C-alpha cells in the first residue's frame, strides 16, 4: 500500500486536499469517492507519498491548509 496526496481544484480555485492509502492511484481516487471526500472539481493533482502529510481520509480545505503552512505549488 502507498499513500496518495490529492489536490482538487475547480475553476482554478483549490477545493481541498486529502491523503488516502491504496494500492495504486486509481484505487486511491475511488477511495476518495467512497469516503465522500471527493469535492466538485475540474482538475486533480495526485502525488505518491512515503507517508501521509495530512490527517488521512479527510478532506482538508484550502484555508486549513494555508493555516498549517502548506503552499500552493501553482502560485
Which pLDDT does position 69 carry in this prediction?
Answer: 79
C-alpha cell at 55: 490527517
Which pLDDT does position 73 carry in this prediction?
Answer: 63
Which pLDDT does position 68 carry in this prediction?
Answer: 83
Angle at 15 between CA 14 and CA 20, to 5 degrees: 105
How many Cα neighbours within 13 Å face the side chain of 23? 1
Which pLDDT does position 43 carry in this prediction?
Answer: 96
pLDDT truncated to tens, each residue of the chain (75 aa)?
999 999 999 999 999 999 999 999 999 999 999 999 999 999 999 999 999 999 999 999 999 988 887 776 665
Amino acid at each position: 500500500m502507498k499513500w496518495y496526496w490529492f489536490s482538487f481544484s475547480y475553476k482554478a480555485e483549490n477545493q481541498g486536499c486529502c491523503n488516502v492509502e491504496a494500492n495504486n492511484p486509481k484505487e486511491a481516487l475511488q477511495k476518495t469517492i467512497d469516503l465522500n471526500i471527493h469535492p466538485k472539481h475540474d482538475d486533480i493533482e495526485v502525488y505518491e507519498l512515503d507517508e501521509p502529510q495530512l490527517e488521512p481520509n479527510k478532506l482538508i480545505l484550502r484555508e486549513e491548509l494555508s493555516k498549517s503552512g502548506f503552499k500552493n505549488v501553482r502560485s
